[in-house]
Amino acid sequence: MSQRRHLRPAAVASAAAVVVLALGLTGTAHAAAPGTAPSSATRVGDDPDQPDNPLYDAPDSFYVTSGRESVSLFWSPLSAATGYEVYRAEAEGTEPDEVGPYELLDTVAASSYVDSAGDPDVTYAYKVRAVDGAGHVSPYTEALRGTQDSVAPFAPRDLTRTREDERGVTLTWRTGDSDSVKYVVYRAVSPNAQRVKVGSTTSLTFRDTKGDPGLTYLYEVRGVDAVGNESEASNTVNGTKTVGSSTAPKAPALGNAQLVGRRLTLSWSQSPYVPVSSYTVYRSKTSPVDITDPANKVATTTGTEYTATVGEDEDERDYYYAVVATSSYSVASPASASVKPTYTEPRPPGATRIYEVTPGAGSVRLNWFGVPYGSDEAPVTGYRVYRSTSPGITKDNAEFTHVTSDTQYVDRDLTGGTKYYYAVATLNEDGLVSALSPEVSATPTS
């Protein structure tokens, strides 16, 4: 509220009478200390039609904000007001008097108003006055203009890549003669890929420092006006943050981490745009793994997989692992995420099947299929051949066994004319044995 003070003529006359009376009684005039001006609740107005109007000033700090879907009005409240009348007129030009007739939009109790009923992209003039319960009204605020602006600015023009180096890609463009107040920069990894916002600026240049080194991006720029309307895209340009001697690889993405019995398997993926010469595996009992401690270093490999046989103690299951990539210029990447391998009990190897049985003179030749194993499984180390002279052979009732790393075996020194029964089991590095293969039989000749 304005702090201007107005004295009514009656009040001035009364003050003069006091001075005269004082002179008449004593012959000497003594000026009294200035009194406190009346409050807004008791102060009278200057309007002769409203002599007791407490709303002597218009609402203060009036301002209007344009938006895409509405126009917002704000002002400071008056203590004597019980409401505010909001008026609107269509603005036909730029001069203050170039407006149509004002109409009352609403009477509100709050010191703000949102107009969403106007026509889009039409400029309106707004003013507000206060009212009280006695029917008094204040002067109007000054008239301010606002627009429900749905028109996007023109697209920026002549987008150009001006620099590529290890620090990033620098872009410049022209405004496109638009009302943009800022510009948003987008990039994608291919023409059909999703555009990702990488930043914004109020200038006509932008430096993208966040891209992956060595990866070529497609860039475009869009203008944004004061209410948030975004333009169509500019032309597109390619840009690449270059790879140099100081460029660090991206952190490996450690994906598979399994501990099957004592068999540890780690595998990870790596961005291909910065050449990597080696990977270092670290581990510790805490996460994240401290890669600065040499005691946490486990191994170095050139591949994207690491396998090992860990100790027999159960606390081997409590380690976290992380991987660091090193470029051909010996620049290390950040560490991968620290991952604790998923533990599962070791599994027996798969069973085989005998596909050929050949009897001979005092002998029988057996051939069977080799059993494959996965990267998270213990390697197959060999096979055990079981033999019996009775059908229904088991690991317990077999009369003879033989271990071999091959997938064939010749059983010699047999009795001609006697029928022999055979089965084979697979062995792995964990010392586990598979189920028996289906039983076969053969009778050697004399």
pLDDT, residue 17, reads 32
CATH architecture of 157-240: Sandwich (2.60)
CA distance 202 to 223: 10
The structural domains of the chain, with segments of one domain joined by +, span 63-147, 157-240, 253-344, 354-442
The CATH code for residues 253-344 is 2.60.40.10
**Looking at residue 401, what is its pLDDT?**
97
Q: How far, in Å, CA of 398 to CA of 382, rounded?
A: 18
The CA-to-CA distance between both ends of the chain, in Å, stands at: 125
User: In the prediction, which pLDDT does 46 show?
Assistant: 61
Bridge partners for 125 per DSSP = 89, 145
Residues in the chain where the model's pLDDT stays below 70: 1-48, 375-376
Q: What pLDDT score does 376 carry? A: 67
How do residues 282-338 score in pLDDT, each as one tens digit? 999 999 999 999 999 999 999 999 999 898 888 899 999 999 999 999 999 999 999
Q: Which amino acid is at 255?
A: G
Could you please state the CATH topology (level 3) that the domain comprising 354-442 is classified under: Immunoglobulin-like (2.60.40)
Residues 282 and 297 sit within 8 Å (Cβ to Cβ): yes
Measured at the CA of 30, the angle between CA 26 and CA 34, to 5 degrees, comes to: 145
pLDDT of residue 320: 97
Q: Is it true that 253-344 and 354-442 share their CATH fold?
A: yes
Query: Which CATH fold would you assign to the domain 63-147?
Result: Immunoglobulin-like (2.60.40)
Beta-sheet strand order (sheet of 71-74) = 63-66, 71-74, 112-115
Q: What is the pLDDT of residue 246?
A: 93
What is d(CA 68, CA 89) in angstroms, rounded to the nearest whole number? Answer: 19
